[in-house]
Structures are given as C-alpha cells and as structure tokens.
Amino acid sequence: MSKRQSNRLAQKHIHPYVLCIIDMQPNGFVNANCIVDDVITLVKEAILVKSFIILCQYYRCGETHEKIRQLIQDYPYKEYFWHRKNDKSKPFQEIIVRRNIFIREIKVCGVNTEYCVKSTVHGLANKFPNKSIKVIEKACNGTDLTVSSALHKMRTFYRNVMVI
C-alpha cells in the first residue's frame, strides 16, 4: 500500500460493517412488528462491534419502530434518512460519502422485501460492486407471496450479495 493510499484510508471512519435497516416503521408497515425482535438482535450486535447503522425510512410512513429508536438513542454511529423511492441506495451512498465511512461489508434487513429491500439491494450491489452485501433473511418481511422470489433473485442475480 502506498503512502497516498494509507493517508486516504487513515482519514476514513472504519467500522466492521454498515447495518442498513429498511422501512421498520410500524405505523406505515404493520409487517415491521413481525420482525422487530430479529432486527433488534442485529442492532445489538452492530452496537457491540461499533458498526455504523443507517435507518432508511419511507417518506410519510411514520417513525422507525420505537424499540429500535430507544436502543440507538445515544449510539453515535447512526444516521436516519427519509426517501420517497423503493431504492434507498442513493441516499445511503450519500451518507457514506458525507460521513467518510470506509465500507467493508453491508448487512441489510427490513420490511417489504419484495419492493424496498430488493430495490435497495439492487442499487447497493451496483454502487458497491466490490463490497460484500448480506441480506439477513430472518430479519426481512414482506407483504405478499413474492418475498421468496425476491430473496431467490438476490441470492442468484448478484455476484456480491448473499442471503443468509
């Protein structure tokens, strides 16, 4: 590694991974309540190892689940954003750049797997083609029968995506 590369890396905020939580807003998406305990487990793990947490919220669908907000209230490595589209990868990328975060791995969870999770994973896979993206299946939920096909597509379509 050259001196120039090491200086650039030294200026980055390095976290073990970035946890991307999508649309965990029970007022807008009732199905968020079904997986909140699994998402809370992921949040606790992320806090334990000082991972960065990005909470993606669909515009006008209420706040992220109260239990999650309480858990990370004083946690310094987090950011919320609101977005009107299913694919939340662009504001995610903007946060990573603005906060100067070095990405090793991205873990994704949340609701509306067949819409927002799938679209966001697609965007992340294209924006971060050399980074490992892990979709945490037990911490994902959906609204219809196409969830399994969305997970299958994420499993097989992207070189850098794993559904675990």
Q: Closest Cα to residue 29, out of 58, 56, 68, 53? A: 58
Write down the H helix ranges in the chain. 3-10, 32-48, 66-72, 89-98, 118-127, 147-157
DSSP assigned state of 103: P
Task: Give the span between the Cα atoms of 79 and 73, in whole angstroms.
Answer: 11
pLDDT at 145: 74
If you search the block for the tokens 């499993």, which residue do you land on? 155
Residue 73 backbone phi and psi in degrees, to 5: -50, -45
Share of the chain above pLDDT 70, in %: 93
Task: Give the span between the Cα atoms of 35 and 51, in whole angstroms.
Answer: 20
Beta strand 52-58 with 18-22: parallel, antiparallel or unpaired? parallel
pLDDT at 146: 86
**Contact status, residue 106 vs residue 17, Cβ threshold 8 Å:** yes
In the chain, the domains with their CATH numbers are 13-163 (3.40.50.850)
Total residue length of the chain: 164
pLDDT at 7: 56
- Residues in the chain with pLDDT < 70? 1-11
* pLDDT per residue as tens digits for the range 72-102: 999 999 999 999 999 999 999 999 999 999 9
